[in-house]
Structure 1
C-alpha cells in the first residue's frame, strides 16, 4: 500500500519505522511541531528526524486540515492514511482523499479512554487491563470502527512506565496487521458504541496533586500513574512540596484526620486517608519513598523522623 503517515513522538516513530521496514510505500510524513508540554517531552523520539534520514518529505502541522496538505494528498493518491499519536482532529475531507480513508492507533481499549494520557488515567482508575486499538477515523474523535485491538493485563505493581513499555511494543504489529486486513478487502469491522465511550483531557500539574480524602488504593494508584519520567504525585509537608515516588496500602485500618503522619510501617510511614477516616474504617497510605524539591530522594522512615503533623494537598 501507499501510506501517508501522520505521527508524533515515540509512538509515531515506532509505527513509522515498522512501515519503512515493510513492503508498504511511505511517500510523505506529517508530524506536529516540537512542544514543551510536560507530557510531550517524555517519550519524544523524532518522527521528523526518522523521515528525514530516509529521505521522505515532511510537513509540520498542529492541524493537518489545510489546503496544502489536501493538495499533496491529491498528488500522491495514497491508499491509506496511518496515524500514531496524532493529537488533533483530522477533517473528513482530508482522509477521504485516501482510497481506504485513515486509521489511527491509540493506546487504550476503545471506546473507553479516548483522548489524552490513557495509560495514566487507566492506572489512576485501577483498570485491570489496558491495550492498543487500531480504528478507522470518522467525524468523531477516537470513535471509528475498530480494526484490531490487543489487550495487556495490569499487574499489581505495574507503574505507568511499565505499561508504556508493554503497550508500545504492540503498536507496530497492530498497525501492520491492520494494513494486511484492509488490503485483503475485508470490510466487516467492529463498530464502537458511543454510549460506552469515555474521553479524557490532557493531564496537568493539578492532576498529580494528592487528595488525602481519597481511599488509600486510589492514592497508591495515583503514585503508580505518575512515576518517573512523568511528573510525580505530590503533597505538602510543613509547607514544602514533596513528591511521592512509591507508596502502598497500610496493613491496618487507621482512624483520625486525613493527612496525619501516623506511624512507621516497613520502609515507609503510614498516613491517614480516605472518606471514612474519622470512623476508623479506612486503610492508610504507606509513603515509602519521597523526593524533595532539591532533587534528593529519601525513604519514608528517614524523611518523617517523628510522628505527628500532616501531609496536605496545598501549602
Structure 2
C-alpha cells in the first residue's frame, strides 16, 4: 500500500524503518524535525525519489492536490503536532491513523505521559486510532496498557510509550496487508484534553504534599533532552531554584513550608506534610547538589 507519513523525532524514524521493512511503499514524508535544514533526519533513510517535505505543507494552499497526486492508501501520523485538514484526511483510500502516547479518551492532547505522572496514575497506555476532524477523537484501532513506575520521569515513561506504540504500528501494518484493521468507538468515560503548557505556570509550591512535589519534578524531567515544561521553579532562603531531582524522606514535619534543614550531608526542605530532599537543583544556570547549595547559602542556612 502507498503510505504518506507525517512524523517527528525518534518515534518518527522508528515508524519509517518499520514501514520500509513491511513492504508497504512510503510515498512521502512530512516533518518539521526530520526535514530540518542541516539535519540528516529522514533523508538518510529514504530513497532519493521519495519526497521529504516540511510538515507546514499540510496547511498550504493546494496541499490536498499535491498529496492526492501520490494516490495514498494510508496516512500515518506519528507524534506530529500539526492539525491535518479534512481535505487531506479524506485522501487515503484505506484510512488515516494516529499514534497517541496515552489512553483515550482520558488522556487526549499533549505531553500526556507527563500529565499521567503528575496526576499520580499507576497505569497508562497508548492508542493507535483512526483520525477524524477532531483532536484525538477518532475510533480506536489498537490500544495497549503499561504501568507507571514510582520513579518514572517524563522521559522514561515517554520512551516506554514509544516502544509500545511501535508494537501497535506493527499490528496495523500487518492488518493493512490483510484488510482487517479493526475499528471501535473510544471507551465510555470523561474526555480530558491535556494542554501543552506547564501546570501551575511552572512553579512549585512548598505547601503542597511532598509526593505532589516529587511527581511534578519527575513529570518535568526529560534530561538529557529539553523538557516541554522546563524544570519546576521555587525559592528557598531568597534564592530562586529550578528543581531537577528531589527525594522523598517519608519524615513528617510541622515546620513552615519552605524551611530548610541541613544535617551536614543532606539538604531538606519542609513541604505541606514531609521533609523533601533537594538532591539536584539549578541556580543561575549552574547545576548544584543539595550539599553544594547548602555551601552556597552559607550564613542563610542554619545547621539542623
What is the TM-score of this pair, normalised by structure 2? Answer: 0.84
Aligned-pair CA distance for 1:187:
5.5
Residue aligning to 2:202: 208
How does 1:1-315 map onto structure 2 within 5 Å?
A: 1-32=1-32, 47-50=41-44, 55-62=49-56, 64-186=58-180, 188-193=182-187, 195-204=189-198, 207-227=201-221, 228=223, 229=225, 230=227, 231-262=230-261, 264=263, 268-274=266-272, 282-298=273-289, 300-305=290-295
Aligned-pair CA distance for 1:147:
1.1
Give unpaired runs (5+ residues) of structure 1: 37-44, 275-281, 311-315
Q: Residue 3 and residue 83 in structure 1: after superposition, are their counterparts in 2 closer, same or farther (change >3 A)?
A: same
Aligned-pair CA distance for 1:24:
0.8
Q: Give the paired residue count.
A: 293
Aligned-pair CA distance for 1:205:
9.0
What is the TM-score of this pair, normalised by structure 1? Answer: 0.82
- Runs of 4+ that moved beyond 6 A: 33-36, 306-310
User: Which whole-Å deviations, capped at 9, do the CAs of 1:210-264 have from their partners, x for residues lacking one?
Assistant: 1222211110011111222323222223443322222122322111322111454
Instruction: Judge conservation of contact 2:102–2:108 (CA < 8 Å) in 1.
Output: yes
Supply the RMSD in Å over aligned alpha carbons: 2.9
Instruction: Judge conservation of contact 1:268–1:289 (CA < 8 Å) in 2.
Output: no
User: Which whole-Å deviations, capped at 9, do the CAs of 1:32-83 have from their partners, x for residues lacking one?
Assistant: 36899xxxxxxxx865434656542022133614443211232221111001
Aligned-pair CA distance for 1:308:
7.2
Give unpaired runs (5+ residues) of structure 2: none
